[in-house]
Amino acid sequence: MILGGSIYLLDTDIFIDLQRGFTPALSWFASLQELPNIPGFVVMELIQDAQNKQQVRKALQLVAPLPVV
């Protein structure tokens, strides 16, 4: 439980846009004042969508700094 704060959870769609380099998504993400959280199932969806080991590594690098809930 977090008192007096907010928890931001990001959806798979946002991470797909970030992976694809979609400029509006990148700009929005860069403007965030605090790191959002990522649900564990979103991490799994990103891994499941990967076509090879390189894409798995990129997906894990993208989410590595974020708290997984």
Question: Could you report the per-residue pLDDT of 3-59, keeping only the tens digit for each?
Answer: 556 788 999 999 999 999 999 999 999 999 888 999 999 999 999 999 999 999 999
Q: Tell me the C-alpha to C-alpha distance, in Å, between residue 68 and each of 23, 38, 65.
A: 24, 5, 9
Residue 3 is assigned to a structural domain of this protein: no
Domain count, the chain: 1
Q: What is the pLDDT of residue 56?
A: 96
Q: Which of 63, 29, 31 is nearest to 45 (CA)?
A: 63
- CA 58 to CA 47: how far, in whole Å? 9
Q: Is residue 28, in this structure, part of any structural domain at all?
A: yes
Alpha-carbon gap, residue 57 to 33, rounded angstroms = 26
pTM for the full model? 0.80
- Domain contains 52: yes
Q: Which has the closest alpha carbon to 20: 59, 57, 52, 63?
A: 59
Quickly count: other Cβ atoms within 10 Å of residue 18's Cβ.
16
Domain that holds residue 22: 12-63
